[in-house]
């Protein structure tokens, strides 16, 4: 695998790479990321993974400083997955001066759900992803459904800016007990890790109720939040939304997804399930 730390070096390699699939990450790679790399291979001649912990998408007080940085391990995993190129710039390469121009996703997409609890997060994500797209000039880019709202924001950005690449979603990869794989799972204590799969169970139960015909969405959401609270979680939201725009559904809408974010101890976990 070739490791490129500069935009110039990546561009030289990209020019010779044929059809390219891009998989942006912040590192600390797990099986969910590796599944995206494997999926990417089916779409392109060469795969470019990126590792960059993007300060712009963390707001003050979040875990930017302590976000796990495991570069050597990540490189070994990418090598084993057969990835051809890793773009791993430092902050000076990505932001040689403070970023003055930003991609501002509309508030109905980026100010709800996670955006409500993490102000500016999706602006930071959209801005760095736009930069990565301009740098890598990929034909296709892959993003996991675990970050469902992020996927929607990026898809809409690509459509509205007429960017010449295809966005391909990857399914969420889960541990045997149902917990969605996430770099932040590493923050959990042993007891918290044992409790963490409850988030997925709560979503599964809510989705099952909707599939069986329940339409009392507000009540179902409140019940799910109460279950989490009663087990020591601090839920930010459990919300049923329409898959395509993440707006609230009416009783006859189909194509729903239930999304949740909740804090367990000091770790904030998110998950979702298509209904």
Contact positions toward ligand PAF, by CB under 6 A?
24-26, 54, 57, 125, 128-129, 147, 150
Nearer to ligand PAF, 26 or 173 (CB): 26
Structure tokens at 236: 């930010």
Q: How far is the CB of 1 from ligand PAF (least distance, A)?
A: 18
Q: How far is the CB of 160 from ligand PAF (least distance, A)?
A: 18
Nearer to ligand PAF, 149 or 249 (CB): 149
Q: Give me the helix-helix angle, 31-41 and 71-80, nearest 10°.
A: 40
Nearer to ligand PAF, 24 or 105 (CB): 24
Residue 262: phi and psi, rounded to 5, are -155, 150
Catalytic residue among 4, 33, 85, 121, which? 33
Residue 33 catalytic? yes
Contact 182, 146 (CB under 8 A): yes
Contact 243, 151 (CB under 8 A): no
What span, in angstroms and rounded, lies between the C-alpha atoms of 158 and 112? Answer: 20
Structure tokens at 209: 């109720």
Q: How far is the CB of 275 from ligand PAF (least distance, A)?
A: 23
Q: How far is the CB of 83 from ligand PAF (least distance, A)?
A: 15
First-to-last alpha carbon distance for the chain, in angstroms, is 39
Nearer to ligand PAF, 26 or 273 (CB): 26
Number of neighbouring beta carbons within 10 Å of residue 126: 24
Residue 44: phi and psi, rounded to 5, are -155, 165
Q: How far is the CB of 76 from ligand PAF (least distance, A)?
A: 19
Q: Tokens 């999926």 label which residue? A: 39
Nearer to ligand PAF, 44 or 129 (CB): 129
Which residue from 33, 45, 148 is spatially nearest to 80, judged by alpha carbons? 33
Residues annotated as catalytic (active site), given as ranges: 33
């Amino acid at each position: 695998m070739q490791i490129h730390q500069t935009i110039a070096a990546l561009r030289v390699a990209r020019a010779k790479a044929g059809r390219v699939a891009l998989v942006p990450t912040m590192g600390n790679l797990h099986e969910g990321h590796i599944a995206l790399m494997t999926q990417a291979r089916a779409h392109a001649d060469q795969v470019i993974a990126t590792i960059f912990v993007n300060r712009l998408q963390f707001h003050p007080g979040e875990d930017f400083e302590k976000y796990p940085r495991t570069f050597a391990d990540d490189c070994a995993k990418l090598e084993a997955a057969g990835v051809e190129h890793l773009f791993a710039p430092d902050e000076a390469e990505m932001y040689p001066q403070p970023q003055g121009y930003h991609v501002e996703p509309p508030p109905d997409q980026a100010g709800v759900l996670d955006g409500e609890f993490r102000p500016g997060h999706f602006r930071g994500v959209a801005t760095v992803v736009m930069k990565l797209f301009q740098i890598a000039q990929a034909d296709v880019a892959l993003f996991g459904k675990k970050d469902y709202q992020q996927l929607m924001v990026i898809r809409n950005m690509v459509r509205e800016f007429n960017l010449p690449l295809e966005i391909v979603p990857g399914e969420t990869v889960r541990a045997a007990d149902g917990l969605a794989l996430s770099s932040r799972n590493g923050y959990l204590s042993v007891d918290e890790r044992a409790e963490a799969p409850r988030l997925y169970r709560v979503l599964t139960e809510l989705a099952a109720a909707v599939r069986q015909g329940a339409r009392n969405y507000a009540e179902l959401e409140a019940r799910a939040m109460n279950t989490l609270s009663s087990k020591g979680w601090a839920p930010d939201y459990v919300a049923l939304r329409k898959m395509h725009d993440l707006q609230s559904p009416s009783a006859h809408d189909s194509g729903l997804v239930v999304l949740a974010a909740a804090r367990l101890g000091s770790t904030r976990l998110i998950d979702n399930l298509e209904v």
